Amino acid sequence: MANWTFLTNHAHVLMCVSENPNVRLRDVATQVGITERAAQRIVTELEEAGYLEREREGRRNSYRLNPAMPLRHPLDRDHRIGELLAAFAIRTPAT
């Protein structure tokens, strides 16, 4: 049986960046289960499409997401990435 997931690597990279805007691409690659080169390619594609902005801070990058951008599939275009990220946000139990 083939391994598959409901979310793409692009969505997983977005989730990693949303959880930590200063994350290293090496760490993104490890968390998503892809190569560092693939993580770099995905971040570049997301940046070129306007889903995130990359800013250099010393030797590190900092990322800022644009949560108002629509999902790309025609069936999902009325939803924004902010909604997707909110649905998968780590929630802390109420105390």
Q: Indicate the domain borders of the chain.
A: 9-87
Confidence band, pLDDT 50/70/90 cuts, at residue 4: confident
What average pLDDT does this structure show over 14-30?
96
Indicate the pTM of the whole model.
0.87
**C-alpha span between 10 and 65 (Å, rounded):** 13
Report the pLDDT averaged over residues 39-53: 97
* Cβ(32)–Cβ(41) below 8 Å: no
Residue range 9-87, CATH number: 1.10.10.10
> At 62, which amino acid appears?
S
